[in-house]
Amino acid sequence: MPTNPHTRAVALHPAGLVYVGTIEGLIEYDGVSWRLIRGTEGMIVHNVAVTASGRVFFSGAGVFGLLEPDPHGILVARLLQGDLPAAYREVGHVLHLVLTGEDAWFATQGLRPAIVRVDVRDRVTVMPIDGGCTSLFTHDGRPYFVTRAGVWRIEAGATRPVPASGAVRTAGIVSLWPGANGATWIVCADGLHNWIGDAARLVSEEVRNALAGDRVTAGCPVRNGVFLLGTDANGLLLVNTAGHILSRYGRDDRYVPTSGKISSLTPDRDGGVWITHYGGVIRAQFDGPTSLHVSPSDLHGRVEAFAFYQGHLYAATTTGVLARDEANGRFTLLPQGGMDAWALVPTEDGLIVAGDNLRLLKSDGRVEMIDERRLGFRAALRLRREPDRLVASTGPDGLLLLYRQETGSDGTRHWRFEAEVPGVRMPLYPLVEDEAGWLWGTRNRLELVRLDWRGGVRLDAKPERIGPERGLPEAEKPTFRVWIFAWNGSVEACNWQGIWRHDPATDLFRAEDRIAGLDPSRWSRAFPLADGSLWMANTRIEDAAALARRTGPDAWRFETLPRNGLESIRPTAVGDDPAADAWWIGYLGIAATKKDWHGAIPPPPTAFVRRVETAAGRVVWGGAGKVPGGTLGPNEKSVRFSFAAPFFQTDGNGRVNVTYRTRLDGIDSDWSAWGDGARRDYSSLPPGAFRFRVQARDDAGRAGSEAVFAFTRLAPWWRKPWAWCGYALLGAAGIGGIVHLRTLQLRGRAEVLEKVVAERTATLLLQNEELARLHKLELDQKTAARLAEEQARLETLRYQLNPHFLFNALASLNATLPANAGAARSMLTRLSEFCRTTLYRDDERERTTVGEELRQLGAYLEIEKTRWGDRLEIMIDCPTELEKMPLPHFLLLPLVENAIKYGHATSEDRIGVRIEVRRAGDAIDLLVSNTGLWIEPDGKPPELPSLGIGLKNLRERLARYQARACVRRQGT
């Protein structure tokens, strides 16, 4: 708001925005913040009006114009008086402004008064008028204006006089609206008029008398048949069509506080009225399903009960008794009502008040004390079957009985204390009596009990606890409350599981099943109404009340009542007011709910993005016009979103409860939590496209549609497309250079590799040649081995063939020897036998046994003995078990032959040869030794004839037959 709160006019935008004309400029209000329109700073704004499409016009001191968004969406004022002809540009105070469709009409008061029209295309036309214009209004969709000369209608670009009442001409028209049967309601300076034809009849002298020289400055309809009039000095008057004043709201009124002159009254779509006055601007709710009469801050206590007595409504509160004044509809505290009131009982003698004590308020205003003891009476009940008895519940003393008796000859009756019920020492409230005579109550509203008074009042009755044994579910927690009431002839109980009805026939409680559509919600309190319906309240503030409306003799239909913003009262008392056709609810305040209200329910709040700006203060979008989206520069990484939801329905405490949630697509993965903050900041935004979304909801949980603002944050120049193209070119050039350098490197490496390959190829060739040579050597060695093997075979054959020829020769020689040559014949015979054994074998096997080899060797040794005689000694040592060991043919013969040969050459006389066969694991050792001398390998052996192949062949044969076999020469 401006520093000077003097306001002149209010206009409401279709989107819910509020425009207020002040003496410091034109202000826009979105439900969260006030914003001075650019271009109207310091301007006195007399009027403001908004078309159905949302075009905003204004008029003021020396100016008139309209509002339009600039390219950034900031709403600015565009002045139009410069579009007038030069003679009419001095417009003076433009006090009057009306709309017809999308056209705006202004009445200028300059040197040359005129009616100015601004059409839908913003074209400005001027119609001169004679004299000043006192009123400008619309009727039947056409503009009218009033001058001292009469009332004129603008039609087809011309002005035409129309019949009108003299009162209208002299007093001027403040406002008007259509009435019934072709009539028009007109608010003039002297009050409310009903204009029919040429006459504008003043409706009420009561209003004129109330003005007492004051004048009416504004007016508007509040609801059907009720109007609100604003004055210069007397505040507000609420009047009906009969001209009766229903309520007054003055300068320091706590309901609608006004200060000074009422300059305008503007009704909104939700039944509220925006009031501008010299003290500022306020909104008051005069129409709706509910109306708050006493706020919690004004009550300073709790409402416990309502009662109607002699056509007046009374409320029992913890601060006393309140009475409603039917003249102004307000509640006042009765000084004789006591300090504390919990229950009210209407009687023929007066209104019994149960509170800190028990007293009777009589119709003449006198107070009669029934029980002056300060016992803290919580409940009082007049018995149906004994109407002259009253039962009252107190805190420490339980139940008290009172009776009504005559105390004088004039027949007057008074209520007196009778007795205590000694068996009840607990507070019982509320108290309910059923048709059978049972007295029901709850102990501190925590458990249900009853007294058996079916046969009459009994002082010895004991309280019976009612629980699961009677079908009533027991509370899960000791703090769960029980509420009882009498409805449709039955005792009903509400608890944490629902509503339960007592069946007298079975004396059991069962779930209430006569209400169609009753949901399983926890209805903690219920109140019977005069028409047989049931008003139900939920303990949760966010849950609306409900109504079980009667549909038949024993049938009801459940329906949830619309939320009205007053659920925070949390009613514990409901009163049925047939005169006002309303229900009164009370606990944390007092409010009235109309029974059959059919007005508009305010829609859920709709959020709007009101402003988008960067951290440096640059406005990206100002919130006006069509949302175009925005763009953040490369260096603008932070952005602030301001938003609002024009919603003005209040709760029972007079507060508007709107919460918001937001989400930035591309950054946020989900919606934020609901909160009352009306702005959201983001920082370190990356380049890219984003969508900011905001949604609002009321305290009933109704959420409106989303508002969306799309924007883009530009990338820095080094991340723009042309930069990327440059990067691509530079990258390509760099890649080309790298490829070139890499090619050179690869070529150099290729040359080095070629040299290495050539060197390694030469090395490989040499290695291949060496391998070939080695392979040839290996083949040569294999060939040599084969040759040696064949040579060994030939040698063996030689050993075989030589005896063959010798055998033939010896046989011939033996035949030629004389008979007396016995030794020679014996030697030849043995030699022939040796040849036969070597030449003629049974098979061609290359192997023999040790025993067979030794036998063949024996024949040879016999020959040698014949030759050498006694000088040759042969000793053979072979175990019998080794004779079967396999052995190659002629293995020992070369060794024995060499042993004899070389032993004789190195022995002087005798020669000894020893042949031993020994076991060596799985193999055998053959030892051939002689008695000759050992000659070192480098020594010079004696000259003996030798072919030099004996031992060589022996080694090769052994290598062929057994790889591990060897021939060792050892000297001794």
Tokens of 32: 């969260």
What pLDDT was estimated at residue 317? 92
Between 362 and 163, the more confident residue is: 362
pLDDT at 256: 74
pLDDT tens-digit series, residues 600-615:
677 889 999 999 999 9
| Orientation of helix 721-816 relative to helix 822-839, angle to 10° | 150
Greatest extent of the chain over all pairs of C-alpha atoms, in Å: 209
Does 548 fall in a domain?
no
Which region, left, alpha or beta, applies to residue 547 given φ > 0 means left and ψ of -120 to 50 means alpha?
beta
**Assigned domain for 793 exists:** yes
Residue where a domain terminates, one of 128, 157, 182: 128
Instruction: Enumerate residues 6+ apart whose C-beta is below 8 A from 235.
Output: 248, 249, 250, 251, 253, 256, 258, 262
Same domain, 717 and 763: no
Distance in angstroms (rounded) separating the CA atoms of residues 510 and 471: 6
228 SS3 class: strand
pLDDT digits (tens, 9 = 90+) for 398-446: 899 999 987 766 667 888 899 999 888 888 888 999 999 999 999 877 8
Same domain, 714 and 781: no
pLDDT class for 972, splitting at 50, 70, 90? very low
Residue 582 has pLDDT above 70, yes or no: yes
Residue 100's DSSP bridge partners are 103
Q: Which two tokens stand for residue 1?
A: 């708001």
N residues, the chain: 972
Q: Are residues 769 and 896 in the same domain?
A: yes
Average pLDDT rounded to a whole number, residues 549-576: 82
Same domain, 824 and 705: no
Q: Tell me if 57 is assigned to some domain.
A: yes
Distance between CA 179 and CA 173 in Å, rounded? 16
pLDDT above 90 for 691: yes
Kindly tell me the number of DSSP H helices and DSSP E strands found in the chain.
8, 69
Q: Is the dihedral of CA 520, 521, 525, 530 positive or negative?
A: negative
Name which of 54, 19, 29, 25 is nearest 40 in CA terms. 25
The residue that leads in pLDDT, 906 or 122, is: 122
Whether 799 and 872 share a structural domain? yes
| CB distance 290 to 565 below 8 Å | yes
pLDDT at 345: 94
- What's the predicted TM-score (pTM) here? 0.67
Measured between alpha carbons, how far is 532 from 754 in angstroms, rounded to an integer? 112
CA-based torsion, 770, 773, 774, 775: positive or negative:
positive
pLDDT tens profile 191-240? 888 888 777 788 878 888 888 888 899 999 987 788 999 998 888 988 98
d(CA 118, CA 99): 10
Angle ∠(414,416,422) on CA atoms, nearest 5? 155
Mean pLDDT of 342-367: 90
In a domain, 450, yes or no: no
Determine what percent of the chain is predicted with pLDDT higher than 70: 86
Q: Are 694 and 770 in a shared domain?
A: no
54 secondary structure, DSSP code: -
Q: Is the Cβ–Cβ distance between 924 and 918 less than 8 Å?
A: yes
- With 0-12 CB in 10 A as exposed, 13-18 as middle and 19+ as buried, what is 447? buried
> Would you say 497 and 483 are in contact if contact means Cβ atoms under 8 Å apart?
no
pLDDT of residue 3: 58
Residue 187, domain member (yes or no): no
The Cα 337–Cα 348 span in angstroms is: 18
Whether pLDDT at 309 is above 50: yes
Mean pLDDT of the 273-302 span:
83
Q: What is the DSSP string of 722-779?
A: HHHHHHHHHHHHHHHHHHHHHHHHHHHHHHHHHHHHHHHHHHHHHHHHHHHHHHHHHH
- Pick the residue with more confidence: 327 or 277? 277
CATH code where residue 275 lies: 2.40.10
Q: What is the mean pLDDT of residues 116-132?
A: 91
How far is 520 from 531, CA to CA, in rounded Å?
Answer: 24
CA-based radius of gyration for the chain = 66
pLDDT score at 843 = 44
Average pLDDT, integer, range 290-316:
85
Structure confidence at residue 942 as a pLDDT band (50, 70, 90): low
Examine the domain organization and report whether 678 and 825 are in the same domain: no
| DSSP for residue 513 | -
Helix pair angle (950-961, 892-906), 10° resolution: 150
Integer Cα distance of 785 and 800 in angstroms: 22
Closest to 354 in 3D by CA, of 421, 285, 410, 430: 430
* Higher per-residue pLDDT: 840 or 750: 750
Give, as one character, the DSSP assignment of residue 452: -
Of 160-174, 210-224, 481-495, 669-683, where does the model show the most confidence?
669-683
Closest CA to 393 of 368, 445, 429, 342: 429
Q: What's the mean pLDDT in 568-596? A: 82
- Cα–Cα–Cα angle for 556, 560, 565, rounded to 5 degrees: 145
Nearest by Cα to 19 from 68, 52, 60, 57: 57
As a whole number of angstroms, the distance between CA 559 and CA 18 comes to 35
Nearest CA to 417 out of 405, 429, 432 is that of 405
State how beta strands 555-560 and 515-516 pair: parallel
Which of 287, 321, 341 is where one domain is finished?
287
Residue 689 forms beta bridges with which residues? Answer: 712
Distance in angstroms (rounded) separating the CA atoms of residues 886 and 742: 76
- What is the total count of domains within the chain? 4
Q: CA 382, CA 345: separation in Å to the nearest integer?
A: 7
Q: Are residues 712 and 817 in the same domain?
A: no
More confident residue, 46 or 327: 46
pLDDT digits (tens, 9 = 90+) for 426-436: 888 889 999 99
Note whether 793 and 847 are same-domain residues: yes
Asked if residue 303 belongs to a domain, the reply is no
Q: Which residues pair with 371 in a beta bridge?
A: 358
pLDDT at 692 over 90: yes
Does the pLDDT at position 801 exceed 50?
no
In single-letter form, the type of residue at position 724 comes to: W
The two three-digit tokens of residue 224, written as one number: 């059907």
Helix, strand and coil in the chain, % to nearest 5: 20, 40, 40
Give residue 289's identity as a one-letter amino acid code.
Answer: P
CA 404 to chain centre: 66
From 136, 164, 133, select the one nearest 151 (Cα to Cα).
164
Phi, psi torsion values for 927, nearest 5 degrees: -115, 125
What pLDDT does residue 82 have?
93
Q: 66, 122 in Cβ contact below 8 A? A: yes
CATH number of the domain where residue 107 is located: 2.130.10.10
pLDDT > 90: percent of the chain? 32
Q: Which pair of tokens denotes residue 744?
A: 């050179």
Beta strands in 477-617 (DSSP E): 483-487, 490-495, 498-503, 508-511, 515-516, 523-528, 534-538, 546-552, 555-560, 573-577, 582-587, 589-594, 608-614
Q: Are 626 and 678 in a shared domain? A: yes
Contact 185, 168 (CB under 8 A): no
Give pLDDT, residue 19.
97
Torsion of CA 422, 428, 430, 432, to 10 degrees: -40
Its sign, for the CA torsion 752, 753, 756, 757, is negative
β-bridge partners, 498: 495
Cβ atoms of 258 and 279 closer than 8 Å:
yes
Handedness of CA 720, 726, 729, 732 (dihedral sign): negative
Report d(CA 607, CA 539) in Å as an integer: 30
CA 279 to chain centre: 45
Choice among 280-284, 503-507, 638-642, 644-648 with the minimum mean pLDDT:
280-284
DSSP states of 135-184: EEEEETTEEEEEETTEEEEEETTEEEEE---HHHHHH-EEEEEE-STT-E
Highest mean pLDDT among 669-678, 731-740, 890-899: 669-678
Task: List beta partners, residue 368.
Answer: 360
Give the model's pLDDT for residue 948: 55
Mean pLDDT of the chain: 84
pLDDT of residue 671: 96
Q: Which of 246, 271, 287 is the last residue of a domain?
A: 287
Q: Is residue 253 part of a domain?
A: yes
Q: Give me the mean pLDDT over the 812-829 stretch.
A: 68
714 and 782 co-located in one domain: no
pLDDT at residue 840 in the model: 54
Q: Which amino acid is at 449?
A: V
Decide: residue 861, CB within 10 A, 0-12 exposed, 13-18 middle, 19+ buried.
buried
CA distances from 577 to 244, 261, 309, 569 (A): 21, 36, 11, 18
Instruction: Report d(CA 454, CA 438) in Å as an integer.
Output: 6
pLDDT > 60? residue 946: no
Q: Which CATH number is 788's domain given?
A: 3.30.565
Asked if residue 969 belongs to a domain, the reply is: no
The CB density around residue 494, as the number of other CB atoms within 10 Å, is 21
Question: What is the distance between the alpha carbons of residues 712 and 709, in angstroms, rounded to a whole number?
Answer: 10
- Within 10 angstroms of residue 604's Cβ, the number of other Cβ atoms is 18
**Domain limits for position 885:** 753-961
Looking at the fold, whether 761 and 718 belong to one and the same domain comes out as no
961 pLDDT more than 70: no
